[in-house]
Each structure stands twice: as C-alpha cells, then as structure tokens.
Amino acid sequence: MRVCVLTGAGISAESGVPTFRDAGGLWEGHRVEDVATPEGFERDPVCVYRFYDERRKSLGTVEPNPAHHALAKLEAALGEDFLLVTQNIDDLHDRCGHVRLRHMHGELLAARNEYGDVLPWRDDLGESDRCPTTGTRLRPHVVWFGEMPLHMLEIEEFLSSCDVFCAIGTSGLVYPAAGFASIAFHAGAHCVEINLQATGGPFHEVRTGAAGTMVPAWVDELLTEIDAEHG
Ligand code: NAD
C-alpha cells in the first residue's frame, strides 16, 4: 500500500504553534503581504527577518504531539511506500525521525543564498549575515506567496501512484497543495481528510476532530490493514 500524507498548520496547533487562517487571515498578527512575499522582503527586510527569527525561537518551546508521532510510525511500517509532504516550516515532523519528509514550503531552521543554496540555520538571521561560500546575502529558506514550492516533481509523481492520500490540518486554500487531493483522487487513490471541519475538497472520507486524537486512530486502522495485507 502506497500512502501519501499532506500536513498543514493544523497538525501543529495542539503543539502550541498558531495556525494561520484561524487568526482572521493574519499570521501571528502580521499581514501575509508583509511577511510572506518577496515584495514584503524587499520593502522591509528587517521586519521579515525579525518575523522568522521569532518563529524560529519559538520552536524551542514546542514539542511534537501524538499526530506527528503517529505519522512516524506509519513511515516505519511503509518505508519507500510512504511520502510525507508538509506545508509547515516548523521542525516538529523532523524531530520524529522521518526520512521520507518533504518540506514543500521550506524550513525555519534553514537559510538560503541568492543562488538557492540552502544551509542549516538555528540563530537569528539578518541583513549582515552572508553565505560562507559565496559571500552573498541570505534570506529565510521559506517559500513565499508567488514563489515555486519545492520538490513538486517528486510529490506529483508519488500522488499519481498512491493508494491512499490523507490531508491533515490544512485549509485547502493555498495552491498548489490545495490541488493534491484532486490529483490523487483522479489517479484512483482513496482520499481522506482529517480536520476540525470539512474543507469541501474531493475526499471519500472526512474525519472531523483534532489531529492529536484523529491521526493516531487513523494510523492504527491503516497499520491493521497493512498487517492483514502482509498476511
Ligand atoms: P491554515 O492555517 O490555512 O489552516 C489550518 C487548518 O487546520 C484549518 O483548516 C483548521 O480547521 C485546521 N485545524 C486547526 N487546528 C486543528 C487541529 N487541532 N486538528 C486538525 N485540524 C486543525 O494552514 P495551511 O493550510 O497549512 O496554510 C497555511 C500556510 O501558512 C502554509 O503554507 C504554511 O507554510 C504557513 N504556516 C505554517 C505554520 C507551521 O509551520 N506550523 C504555521 C502557520 C502558517
């Protein structure tokens, strides 16, 4: 069984990382145009660096919740037949030891230079920081609105060949991730949504409730099915 999981900000909500849409379209009190677009960065880089510095620092106060841990259990059972795609820039999935994890919108714990080279980054990041190899300016390794998400070819290939697709804690409003359910659905996958409320996407099954409870239950059901398949 090949399983593709897409996660959004909702999976980290119970860990204490605020989601985005739930706060009236503001991200931690900021307009998206100001802190999550290339134009916002050009206009006021100091504000944008500070915004991501704060998000990076706050990772020190949060921990993965049962939903993150359950997905790591699923990867351990499925290996290469599993792909976890996250829109989140936090590192809560990483801390559960995933290998088959793709951060399509980048990562808070990384910076990149003007050529797109990525380097790990844990400290504050500012205008005076330079790439040690090229000497050029660094920016947060975050995909902003209007920019191309990462790993798209690999993700679309996996979506087209999976048997099960599950979208967890994502509002289904940010493209191209919002179109993943449709790709998997048309490729014949069984499509499941786990969210506090249904988003109206092309899902065969909608499980409403908090990810911290719903995801471990869904994973346990799937693991039972996988065990039965393997006799
Ligand atoms: P979103 O904020 O637009 O939507 C969150 C979704 O999660 C909503 O549909 C909500 O109903 C659901 N939800 C909230 N709490 C939940 C819970 N406990 N269990 C299950 N579902 C729950 O999130 P999005 O669709 O991921 O899009 C937001 C964009 O902002 C992403 O691209 C992401 O990069 C960025 N972002 C990231 C983080 C993070 O890294 N944790 C946090 C905020 C925003």
Rounded average pLDDT per 10-residue block, the chain, 231 residues: 97 93 71 93 96 96 98 97 98 97 98 96 96 95 96 98 98 92 98 97 98 98 92 72
Q: Catalytic: which of 68, 93, 105, 141?
A: 105
Tokens of 136: 């050029």
Q: Which atom of ligand 1 is nearest to the CA of 108?
A: 40
Is 14:210 a contact under the CB 8 Å cutoff? yes
Q: How many angstroms is it from 43 CA to the middle of ligand 1?
A: 26
pLDDT single digits (tens) 162-180: 999 999 999 998 899 999 9
Which residue has a Cα nearest atom 23 of ligand 1?
A: 9
Instruction: Identify whether 68 is a catalytic site residue.
Output: no
Q: Output the CA torsion sign for 127, 131, 135, 140.
A: negative
**Burial label, 158 (beta-carbon count in 10 A; 0-12, 13-18, 19+):** buried
CA-closest candidate to residue 184, choices 105, 79, 83: 83
Q: What is the CA radius of gyration of the chain?
A: 18
- At residue 118, the 3 state secondary structure works out as strand
- Longest Cα–Cα distance of the chain, Å, equals 60
Q: What is the pLDDT of residue 21?
A: 64
For residues 33 and 40, give the distance between their C-alpha atoms in angstroms, rounded to a whole number: 6
Write out residues with Cβ below 6 Å of ligand 1.
8-10, 12-14, 17, 19-22, 27, 87-90, 105, 169-171, 173-174, 195-197, 199, 210-211
The DSSP bridge pattern shows strands 106-112 and 139-142 to be antiparallel
SS3 labels along 24-37? CCEECCEEHHHHCC
For 179, residues 6+ apart whose C-beta sits below 8 A from its C-beta are none
For residues 185 and 200, give the distance between their C-alpha atoms in angstroms, rounded to a whole number: 14
Q: How many angstroms is it from 106 CA to the middle of ligand 1?
A: 15
What are φ and ψ of residue 14, in 5° steps? -75, -10
Q: How many angstroms is it from 229 CA to the middle of ligand 1?
A: 33
Pick from 19, 59, 145 the residue to mutate for probing ligand 1's pocket: most ligand atoms within 8 Å of its CB. Answer: 19
Q: How many angstroms is it from 198 CA to the middle of ligand 1?
A: 13
The length of the chain, given as a count of residues: 231
